[in-house]
Amino acid sequence: MNNTISIRVADFLKRFPPFNAISKSDLEMLAGKVSIVYRDKGSFIFETDEIPHECFYVVHKGAVILKNKEKDSLLDMCDEGDIFGLRPLIANENYKMDAYALEESILYAIPLEAFRPYSQNYQDVSNFLLESFASNTRNPYSIKQKGQLVSEKASESNNGSDNVMFDLQQVTYSKKIVCCTKSTTIKAIAERMTKKRVGAMLVVENKLPIGIITDKDIRNKVATGLLPITAKAYSIMSSPVITYPNTMTVSQAQMAMMKSNISHLCLTEDGTVNTAAVGILSKHDLMLTLGNNPAVLMKAIKRARKVKKIKLIRKSIMNLLQGYLDQNIPMTLTSRIISELNDACVKQVIELSLKRMSTEPPIKFAWLSMGSQGRSEQLLHTDQDNALIFEDVPETELTETSEYFVQLAQIITKGLMKIGYEYCPAEMMGSNPKWCLSLSQWKSTVGHWISYPGPEEVLLSAIFFDFTIVYGEKDLADELTEHIFKETSTYPVFFRHLASGALQNPSPSGFFRSFLVEDDGAHKDFFDLKRRALMPLVDGARVLILSHQIKSINNTAERFERLAELEPNSQELFLACSYATKALLKFRTKQGLLHNDSGRFIALDTLSKEEKIKLKRTFKTIKELQELIKVRFMVANLLS
């Protein structure tokens, strides 16, 4: 009888590296030796200087904090599928950090001795461990993070963003394998390769790969007259076959081809010649995969001369996003890369729009993205929220100048609509004269919102105050930012109104932690993920970070991480909020890609039990955050 528990463990582990490189039978054998560990919230798994356990850990459910005890600083937060506690076992040293459960957690404890043979038998597993040890990070794919355990912290440089895909993206290979035996004639091989339109023929024996023949072999060894076309396959095949697992990354494939000076790789079930081939990877396949690299996409965007071309590139960006989600790339890194590419698309639309104007801009201006795009959280195709600021001009020139920039903004917003950004239903766009103003006009407008904060003013502030400059004169945006902070210092009561606005969204759950769904309308019985879960976190982070007078941090998760540094007494809550924000954003993005929509409204009956549990885990954090805001800003209207 099968051990159903070990099968479940194996099914879970195979979703994550390096276990996804291990064959099904071996993984089930390893899973049979795994222990299941339960930890209450706040309880330790291990502590600094403790002798290492005989096992390392994988998070099954919950979250685990890794903390530097000496510096009292967060090193990492481990989520589902993350490995921790492995380095001390390999290095034979005591633990260098504390590990404790951020919330109620279930862990898989994997004995090192049981795992060791797989690290020796599987090249991909060995590479994972070696690179993990070398880089001292849970995410061994980024050697640039050497010395850091926080895999969510991406390099701030553009180079890090441009090159990340080379390190992380799995190869896309051809599953159309054409095979022959070692006694097949070269003539038959050439005819079959031509018919099947492939560049390589795999030579097999007992269904296992023993050699490979490529176009180049036929040209160099047969077309030159060295061998007749009646010769057998074994006389020209390259043997032994160089094999790899189908989970190899782009960078690994590039290195393998350069190292062995070959143009085709054979991918097998376990990465060795002892299992059947599952695909062939050619240099052509690799080049197609590299087409979805951020650096390649960025160059393509900058070279685009028509809006239609940018629209096509955005499809590739969505494919890139899907790939990142499939590979469990950290959400902070994913958001940053996709947001940079989206911003580049907007910038190129503006460049093309400027060329359509009869004259150049009369003065300097800046284009601002607001809302989710301003926070680097707009991963899917949603509607526009933008504004335009131009330099102050004499009153006599204001009307003419304003008309110029409104016309420009209309061309820009139309271009953005063509590449996938729908028009804002409330017309919060630069093409609306109310959102296309001089610097002085914008200062007067935001000053009014802050000094007379009614419900509409608070709503407008919440959208506008997350702006980021995408194109134009940065000094204009900086001066407006300075004015906003000056005004909020003068009218601190504004924060109470902003906090009140942050508490307007009802709790995500009702009695017995059931989901609160929409009562009527087009989305009746659907769960509004944006309004009930994401917005309370977004709004809460905004009012808290503004009250600290912190500039240049717009992303919600990053705002919470900064708040954790500013307020050590609330560090645990703010880190939990950061974690919840990324989890919800990732969930919404996956749902949006799955259903080809914004991912906002969720049909609960389509979710698995595990997905519902993960969602509900964030609800407690939202409630605690709203309680903190209610008390801090003395707001009495928190909705229950």
The SS3 assignment for 71 reads coil
Phi, psi of 92 (to 5 degrees): 55, 50
Cβ neighbours around 45 below 10 Å, total: 23
DSSP letter assigned to residue 425: T
Mean pLDDT on 96-119:
89
pLDDT digits (tens, 9 = 90+) for 591-629: 888 888 888 898 888 888 778 877 887 888 898 999 999
pLDDT at residue 144, as a whole number:
33
Report the distance separating Cα 227 and Cα 408, nearest Å.
68
Phi, psi of 325 (to 5 degrees): -65, -40
Report the distance separating Cα 563 and Cα 581, nearest Å.
14
pLDDT at residue 257, as a whole number:
79
Contact 341, 298 (CB under 8 A): yes
Two structure tokens written together for 596 = 């080809």
DSSP E strand stretches across 402-548 = 436-438, 468-472, 527-528
**Model-wide pTM > 0.75:** no
Two structure tokens written together for 588 = 């919404």
Confidence of residue 134 (pLDDT cuts 50, 70, 90): very low
Among 366, 483, 538, CA closest to 435: 366
pLDDT digits (tens, 9 = 90+) for 386-424: 999 999 999 999 999 999 999 999 999 999 999 999 999
How do 200-205 and 179-180 pair as beta strands?
A: parallel
Report the distance separating Cα 427 and Cα 409, nearest Å.
12
- Return the CATH number of the domain spanning residue range 179-290: 3.10.580.10
Mean pLDDT on 318-323:
85
Contact 409, 431 (CB under 8 A): yes
Two structure tokens written together for 82 = 């993350």
Contact 451, 491 (CB under 8 A): yes
pLDDT digits (tens, 9 = 90+) for 483-517: 999 999 999 999 999 999 999 876 777 544 568 88
Report the distance separating Cα 352 and Cα 350, nearest Å.
5
Superfamily of the domain at 4-151: Jelly Rolls (2.60.120.10)
Confidence of residue 143 (pLDDT cuts 50, 70, 90): very low
DSSP letter assigned to residue 262: -
Report the distance separating Cα 146 and Cα 139, nearest Å.
10
Two structure tokens written together for 250 = 């782009």
Instruction: Give the domain ranges of the chain.
Output: 4-151, 179-290, 357-491, 499-632
Q: Could you tell me which residue, 130 or 622, shows the higher pLDDT?
A: 622
Which residues on neighbouring strands pair with residue 23, listed in sequence order? none
Contact 211, 182 (CB under 8 A): yes
pLDDT at residue 149, as a whole number:
24
Is 297's pLDDT higher than 60?
Answer: yes
Alpha helix ranges (H) inside 514-570: 529, 535-547, 556-566
What separation in angstroms does the CA of 387 have from each of 49, 319, 334, 522?
54, 29, 26, 30
Measured at the alpha carbon of residue 58, what is the angle toward residues 75 and 98, in degrees to the nearest 5? 35
Helix axes 331-356, 307-326, angle to 10 degrees: 180
